[in-house]
Structure 1
Amino acid sequence: MLYKTRGVALSYIRYRESSIIAKIYTEAFGIQSYIVNGVRSSSSKTNRIALFQPLTLLDLVVYHKDKQDTVHRISEIKCYHPFASLPYNITKSSLSLFVTEILGKTLREEEANEPLFNFIEQSVLYLDEAETGYENFHIQFLLHLASFLGFGIENLRDLENELKNHHYPQIADSLELNATNQLLLHGYGIQISLDRARRISILEKVLFFYKIHMEALGEIRSLEVLSEVLR
């Protein structure tokens, strides 16, 4: 049966000679995989592979079977918000790779979750449209995403206590604690002056917190690139 849904492209792998299997977070069905034929063919008249680049916002018409662990197919696809800057700005594109890796490792539900979809969509739109003040975007994204994943951070004290109870080795100074609190309390775009060392320290702390709740999170491969880009 055919269904209309919006989606956020996360990643894809090559499949056979000219096809891909794309992982997309959909508004109607949660995380899903789709076989897309012919997108890597030299005879293809359109560059449809671009639709599956990280965080592309999609309008979809899909064939959906009510079975878990099923790879579905796409009938129609188009981008409903062409990016103005995200793929062309090295900092933003590095942030987008980090976000897609996190989402790929944390999203497991194969069912609708409209608040979560809206959060991801609005986060992507902010990152694409922001001209300044987005250097801490990835940290705030993690802090707020946790609430949708079931282990939200209520306040700074709770975060620090949980880290202490799990023997987190680093002790934050007052500047780092204040910055973490501001990032937790405010939305994207708040101006917080952080040097590279403190930004990395806060990010490592939040990722450690994630691993307390999601043991399978594993290594985040995009971190190395991100740490080089964000000075």
Structure 2
Amino acid sequence: MGRTSEIELILIAYTKVGDSSIVIHTLSREYGRKSFITSIGKSTSISSFLPLNILSCKITENPKSQLWRAKEIQAITPLSSLRSDLRKNAITLFLSEVLYRSLRDGSNEEGLYEWCKKMIYTLDSMQEDFSSFHLWFLLQYASILGFKADDESIAPFAEKHYEDLQKLLHLDFTSFMLYPLTGKERSEIAEILIHYLSYHLDIRLDIKSLSVLRELFGD
């Protein structure tokens, strides 16, 4: 058995394996996007495994397997606002699904973990005007991955929303959140940005949770 170390990670998703184990899909500073297996029991609190939870745990490396074991998993912070606000909860589901479907196992983009952590805390702390947070996230995420959107690169994807996107690309965070968009416009721009990510990552991103945002923020 390999060495054991304590790390901090962000939970992206989990997959149940039988009755007593789950595979957690995570993002960490040390390993980037990586999955671990962990045991669960009747006393295990499922609240530890909510999307985008920031967790501490002990990882035991196993040179004979790519699926290492995680244990003593604990949430570092409750993220109370993300869990109690239905709209924030929907945004969280969307962001975690984007990360889960777009990051390949083993990928470790420089600065991605710290940026994601900052985004989680930012959304948790916001009291109002966060309906466009997922759009900001998608644009900044593209930049972290190495294909920052600009007026020229977004044009082939923008369709009727080119003027809005052209303005949004040049706004700071506060101004971006206050930029007037209808629910329908937000949904359509989110689809454009997902298409933009899909193209540059050369994968098909089918983000099912976008429909939840559409229902919650629709006009």
Q: TM-score, normalised by structure 2?
A: 0.88
Alignment RMSD: 2.2
2:172 partner amino acid: H
Corresponding residue pairs, total = 215
In 2: Cα distance, 1:113 partner to 1:178 partner: 27
Instruction: Report the counterpart of residue 205 of structure 2 in structure 1.
Output: 218
Residues 169 and 136 (structure 1 numbering): CA distance in 2 closer, same or farther, change over 3 Å?
Answer: closer
Give matches, 1:42-191, under 5 Å. 44=43, 46-47=44-45, 49-65=46-62, 70-108=66-104, 110=106, 113=109, 115-153=111-149, 155-160=150-155, 163=156, 168=157, 170-172=159-161, 174=163, 176-182=164-170, 185-187=171-173, 190-191=177-178
- State which of 25, 28, 32 in structure 2 corresponds to 1:26: 28
Q: TM-score, normalised by structure 1?
A: 0.84
Percent identical: 26
In 2: Cα distance, 1:116 partner to 1:195 partner: 30
Q: Secondary structure at the match of 2:71?
A: strand
Alignment gaps of 5+ in structure 2 = none
Q: Secondary structure at the match of 1:217?
A: coil
In 2: Cα distance, 1:101 partner to 1:28 partner: 21
Deviation per CA, 1:2-21: give whole Å up to 9, x if none: 12221001111111112211
In 2: Cα distance, 1:201 partner to 1:127 partner: 22
User: Does residue 8 of structure 1 match 2:42?
Assistant: no
Residues 28 and 111 of structure 1 are in contact (CA less than 8 Å); yes or no, is this contact kept in structure 2?
no
Instruction: After the TM superposition, list the runs of 4 or more consecutive aligned residues in structure 1 that deviate by more than 4 angstroms.
Output: 111-114
In 1: Cα distance, 2:121 partner to 2:206 partner: 27
